Amino acid sequence: MQKKIISLLLFLIFTSSNSYSSNSYFPAEDWESSLPKDQGISQTKIDSLIDLAYEDKSTMGIVVISNGKVIGEKYAQGYDSSSHGTSWSMAKSYYAALIGISIDQGEITSLDDKVKKYLSYFNDERSNITIRDLLNMSSGLDFPEHEHERMFFQKDHLDYARKVGVEKAAGIKWEYNNVNSMIIGDILYSATGKKADILFEERILKPLNINSYKLWKDEAGNVLAYCCVDMSARDYSKIGLLFARDGYWGGKQILSKNFIDETFQVVWGFSDDFPRSGYSLHWWVGKHDDKSKIFHTSGKFGQYTFVDRENDIVVTRITKYQQKDHGDIQKWGPLGYFRWLGVEQAVKTARILLNFGLVEEGIDVITPTTEEEGESKEFVDNFEKFVDQIANLSR
């Protein structure tokens, strides 16, 4: 009798810890589609959301997911559901998730571990910085005007990141610093013995049946843990759905609910200094009030996956990107001479050289590239309206 009671208690604890059962729908390689009305959402709201996304000509694709099923989807001419976009900084959220999985597996003890526990070169003026400080963008590391975007133009991004010193005490100010994210990849390697791209494949991509992707590395072979994952809008949406579903996927807990609970809060933002959005553990907060809470990944040129966790809604919007089969190792060639220009000037110079055929992509230079037609303008202006419309889907 006592054993039966214990078994019943264990069953109740397990089932109550996660609201997603074996009866919930999880996509495999393909997705099931559904009419919006069958998910309790009006077609008019979906049409309005998609139309708003396409007010910006840079939009390549948008996917709207409710209860795991595609209820709205559209692609620009020349693209389809298998077309790759590039993530830019959406990748930060993915590699941060690997920290959570390493904590779940006991490879990393806590978010509050000092980075020096894993990286000996942090045993200097940086010795008080924690993993949480890196993920919350409050490490206090040196923060120049270019936000270390110049790191993107280096042959060895990790070597660049390792040399960045301290500017202020940790934990006192939010500063969007790409070096924080690059260091995360080195922590993962120290804790697990595997590079971040391998961990991403083994621990997230394969369990989610994501099979077509590109994970960019620099010329020295370092994973770009702060940017640059290429995949389809549907596959980006799978990662969003993983977070919407409390880290649970088709019978397996991929990432602990506790880590997602800690991620989906407001650490920085919605204040006089930071009014329009918030930030926590490498995720952005688009809306956080009594009516709705919407978190999102974000890329430099307008790439987003939005997650309304309470209503099991995921929306991904990506911008135009010319998928090239030149491998996943970055190469700058002669463009490397321009790496110390200002970031905007370096991008303009590279585009001119490529457009005039003075430098050939795939031979002289290999890198993820968003052309001008893929840079968001109107979408940025409409951002708050877009988030409000996502929140309105479930009302």
Question: In degrees rounded to 5, what are phi and psi of residue 305?
Answer: -125, 120
Q: Is 63 helix (H, G, I), strand (E, B) or coil?
A: strand
Domain annotation covers residue 28:
no
- Residue 84 bridge partners (DSSP): 232
- Asked whether residue 13 is domain-assigned, the answer is no
Q: Name the pLDDT band for 353 (thresholds 50, 70, 90).
A: confident
User: Which residue bears the tokens 């100010």?
Assistant: 173
> How confident is residue 276, by pLDDT bands cut at 50, 70 and 90?
confident
pLDDT for residue 21: 64
The structural domain count of the chain equals 1
CATH number for position 325 = 3.40.710.10
Query: What pLDDT, on a 0 to 100 scale, did the predictor assign at position 88?
Result: 97
Of the chain, the percentage scoring pLDDT greater than 90 comes to 80
pLDDT, residue 18, reads 59
Instruction: Kindly state the average pLDDT of the residues 343-354.
Output: 80
Between 69 and 5, whose confidence is greater? 69
Q: Is residue 8 part of a domain?
A: no
- Distances from the Cα of 51 to the Cα of 37, 38, 102, angstroms: 18, 21, 40
Average pLDDT of span 223-240: 98
Question: Domain for residue 310, yes or no?
Answer: yes
Q: Which of 14-28, 201-215, 314-328 has the lowest mean pLDDT?
A: 14-28
Most confident of 251-260, 267-276, 319-328, 368-377: 251-260
Within-domain flag for 67 = yes
Given a cut of 90, whether residue 359 has pLDDT beyond it is: no
The continuous run of DSSP H or E covering 253 comes out as strand 252-253
- pLDDT at residue 190, rounded to an integer: 98
Taking CB atoms within 8 Å and a gap of at least 24, the contacts of 323-326 are: 323/83, 323/84, 323/230, 324/361, 324/362, 326/361, 326/362, 326/366
Mean pLDDT rounded to a whole number for the chain: 92
Do the beta carbons of residue 259 and residue 269 sit within 8 Å?
no
**7 falls in which pLDDT band (50, 70, 90)?**
very low
Q: Please check whether residue 227 is in contact with residue 88, taking contact to mean a CB–CB distance below 8 angstroms.
A: yes
User: What gap in Å lies between CA 291 and CA 287, rounded to an integer?
Assistant: 9
- Answer with the residue of higher pLDDT: 15 or 337: 337
Give the Å distances, CA to CA, from 121 to 126, 196, 218, 306.
Answer: 9, 19, 21, 36
Q: Report the largest interatomic distance among the alpha carbons of the chain, rounded to a whole angstrom.
A: 81
Residue range of the domain that includes 94? 36-331+366-393
Per-residue pLDDT band for 3 (boundaries 50, 70, 90) equals very low
Q: Quick one: average pLDDT of 176-203?
A: 98
Pairing of strands 293-298, 268-269: unpaired
Residue 194 has pLDDT above 60, yes or no: yes
Q: What is the pLDDT of residues 24-77, one digit of tens each?
A: 999 998 899 999 999 999 999 999 999 999 999 999 999 999 999 999 999 999
pLDDT at 20 over 60: yes
Examine the pLDDT at 256 and tell me if it is beyond 70: yes
224 lies in a domain? yes
Hey, is 252 helix, strand or coil? Answer: strand
Position 107 pLDDT exceeds 90: yes
pLDDT at 343: 73
Q: Residue 14 domain-assigned?
A: no
- DSSP structure string for 12-40: HHHHHT-S--TTS----SS--B--GGGGT
Average pLDDT, stretch 177-183?
A: 98
The pLDDT, as a whole number, for residue 9 is 43
| Domain contains 11 | no
